[in-house]
Amino acid sequence: MGKNIDYMMELVNGFLKGKTPRHIFELDFQTEILDCYKKMAREDRDYAEYFYDMLSECGVDVGDNLSDAEFKRLIRRQYKKVKGFAEGDLW
C-alpha cells in the first residue's frame, strides 16, 4: 500500500495494541483521516473509500455510546474487514 494508507492502518493498529488510549485515538483518527484521505485516495481510491466507510463511518463515528471494551471490539472487527479487503477477501 501507499505510505498514507500504511500510516492510517498503523494508527488504528496502535490503538488495538493498547499503545494509544481511546480518547487520544478518537481525536487523532478524526484529524488524520481528514488530512490523509485525499492522499490515500490517490494511492488506491477503492481501498481509501472502503477504509473510510468501515473505520470512520461504521467505526469511530458510531462508537460514542459504547464502553471502551465494546469500542475496541468494534474497531478490531472493522480493522479486520479493511485488512481483508486489502488481501482480496470481501465480506
Taking the domains of the chain in order of start, what are their residue ranges?
Answer: 3-86
What does the block give as the cell for 20?
494509544
Within 10 Å of residue 60's Cβ, how many Cβ atoms? 21
Whether 14 contacts 77, CB under 8 Å: no
- Report the C-alpha gap between 62 and 6 in whole angstroms: 23
Taking only the tens place, the pLDDT of each residue in 20-78 is 999 999 999 999 999 999 999 999 999 999 999 999 999 999 999 999 999 999 999 99
Q: What is the pLDDT of residue 89?
A: 57
The reply to whether the predicted model has a pTM over 0.85 is yes
| Lookup: cell for 52 | 473510510
* 8-18 per-residue burial string, b: 16 or more CB within 10 A, e: under 16: bbebbeebeee
68-86 and 3-16 are packed helices; what angle lies between their axes, rounded to 10 degrees? 150
